[in-house]
Amino acid sequence: MILYFTGTGNSRFAAQELNRFCKDELVSMNREMRKRKLDPYNARYAYTSEKPFVIVCPTYCWNIPRVVEEFLLDSRFLVSRDMYFLLTCGSSTGQAGKRAAQICDTLLLNFRGQASVRMPENYISLFRAPEPDEAVAIIRSALPLIESVGMQIVANRYIKDSFSGRDVPAFVVNSFYKHFVHDRKFYVKDNCIGCSACAQLCPTVNIRMRGGKPEWQGHCTQCQSCIGVCPADAIEFGGRTRKKRRYYLFADGRQKFPPEKRKEPESKSESGHVRRL
């Protein structure tokens, strides 16, 4: 079973690619998380698979995102005792593999290794996302690695990460969450069309629509899905995101374009597609 968490689509894309080789059940942790918040008595907490469990998610502060960690620790994994991790990142996954091994230990599962794959940077609250063509090139160059990870999982081999992760002290991660992981600076501009795409997508159910506009509720995980997916590019995070390109990769490999450029592309290379399904 492949369980993926994604903010802006990179990890969903990686999970889908991986599944071309694993041919397994694909489960969206985002959907499961929302269900646990919105309908906790009918949500799923136990996952059964004869094949190994594979967790695909982004890297947050050189680590497994806390929201994913909490999800895994609140879940039960039945039948297979093996768990793999595939982390997408903008540049480095640091010590995420170490944390993944600890999570498996707590869950009494066998840690079968972690792989890191570089995908386009999505963290526009702090950095910049690559331009569409560059993003396509980055994603294309990730494909052979994802394929090799898939082959190793199918062969039931232990995965040794090819990235060299440096150790990140706990206080760095703690202060990252304290100072950067919050929603206090999110606001919406007048061009918001009130479509509620942000609220419907938010994995932590942190956005409520009031008077047709989104309002953040104080338990944000900074996944960037709201700011990335907004069709009007109406969401900002303080002054940091002003005039920056938004990044969102749809399930079919298409990138989101800003409203003014959203016309039918004349050629394949203009489309920002990684592949056409």
Ligand X SMILES: Cc1cc2nc3c(=O)[nH]c(=O)nc-3n(C[C@H](O)[C@H](O)[C@H](O)COP(=O)(O)O)c2cc1C
Q: How many residues bind ligand X (CB under 6 A)?
A: 23
Angle between helices 66-73 and 29-38 (to 10 degrees): 70
Residue from 89, 56, 109, 110 nearest 168 by CA: 89
114 binds ligand X (CB under 6 A): no
235 binds ligand X (CB under 6 A): no
**Region of 5-13, 36-44, 145-153, 158-166 interacting with ligand X (CB under 6 A):** 5-13
**Region of 82-90, 148-156, 230-238, 258-266 interacting with ligand X (CB under 6 A):** 82-90
Element containing residue 226 per DSSP (H, E): helix 225-229
Element containing residue 179 per DSSP (H, E): helix 170-180
Q: Which of 52, 58, 214, 272 binds ligand X (CB under 6 A)?
A: 58
222 binds ligand X (CB under 6 A): yes
- C-beta of 194 vs 238, nearer to ligand X: 238
- C-beta of 78 vs 135, nearer to ligand X: 135
Compute the least distance from the CB of residue 246 to ligand X, in Å. Answer: 12
Strand segments (E) across 41-198:
46-49, 53-58, 76-79, 82-89, 110-118, 186-188
Q: Which of 29, 33, 67, 119 binds ligand X (CB under 6 A)?
A: 119
Q: Which of 20, 38, 79, 91 binds ligand X (CB under 6 A)?
A: 91
204 binds ligand X (CB under 6 A): no
Residue from 221, 226, 243 nearest 187 by CA: 226
61 binds ligand X (CB under 6 A): yes
Using CA atoms, how far apart are residues 69 and 16, in angstroms rounded to an integer?
21
- C-beta of 75 vs 255, nearer to ligand X: 255
- Please enumerate in sequence order all residues whose Cβ is within 8 A of that of 203, keeping only pairs 6 or more positions apart, or say none: 5, 7, 29, 30, 33, 34, 67, 221, 223, 225
Using CA atoms, how far apart are residues 116 and 97, in angstroms rounded to an integer?
9
* Chain positions contacting ligand X, by CB under 6 A: 6-11, 58-62, 88-92, 119, 121-123, 222-224
